[in-house]
Amino acid sequence: MKLKKELPIITIVLLPFIYLAYLWNDLPNKVPMHWNMKGEIDRYGDKSELIIIPFLLPLLIYVIFLVIPKIDPKNKLNKMGNKLQTVKFLLTTFMSILALFIIYTAKHQTLTNPNYIVLLIGILFIILGNYFKTIQPNYFIGIRTPWTLENETVWKKTHKLGGKMWFVGGIIVVLSSLVLDKQLNFTLFLIITAIISIIPITYSYVVFKSEKKTA
């Protein structure tokens, strides 16, 4: 690992830790830890619980991206080159922003609008969809079904379709988060998530059977 190359991402990982340390003395002993879909607090916890947020979000994602290329038995991830580094940067940044948002809402004891969380997830869908077609077959990242892992052609076709669906689905989720009310937006989010998850998986099976017949 080249430290100079990783330094910007490490800085992003550290931001939630720094922000939490900055706010620590101003935080009440009990802070909101969970909200319902109406944006109302339904669980409080000790402020020490917030410490786990930066560990579980940006730091964990960063460590996973450091480890999996080294243990990938097919060594496909390393062949992605700068694209893997970009995906790592974008996902780590997303998780860091999410951690900052959670800490911020805990400090101010208000979620203001649950649509903001859904909007962030929509942005994540867009990011992932944009990079699906660049992901090489591997056991860790992507649409990993028995059929995509068995056949590289199935993997490529599935990720080409999945990438388009996740990208478009993400745009719909982002736009709906800006214009719809909380309950309707969450319902649409669940429907979109189900569609962009189930259809590529089903498609991978159909393509696999088609490829098997052709062979």
Low-confidence ranges of the chain (pLDDT < 50): none
What pLDDT score was predicted for residue 118?
Answer: 92
Q: What is the pLDDT of residue 38?
A: 65
**What is the per-residue pLDDT for 1?**
59
Rounded distance, CA 180 to CA 201, Å? 29
Of residues 170, 95, 85, 68, the one with CA closest to residue 127: 170
Tell whether the torsion through CA atoms of 43, 44, 49 and 55 is positive or negative. Answer: positive
Q: Which pLDDT belongs to residue 112?
A: 63
pLDDT value of position 41: 73
Counting other chains too, the contacts that 85-92 makes at CB distance below 8 Å and 24 or more residues apart are 85/5, 86/131, 87/127, 87/131, 87/135, 87/141, 88/9, 88/62, 89/8, 89/9, 89/12, 90/127, 90/131, 91/61, 91/65, 91/124, 91/127, 92/9, 92/12, 92/13, 92/58, 92/61, 92/62, 92/65
The domain ranges of the chain are 1-112, 114-215
Could you read off the pLDDT of 68-92 as tens digits, one per residue? Answer: 999 988 888 888 878 889 999 999 9
First CA to last CA distance, the chain: 42
The dihedrals phi and psi of 179, each to the nearest 5 degrees, come to -120, -25
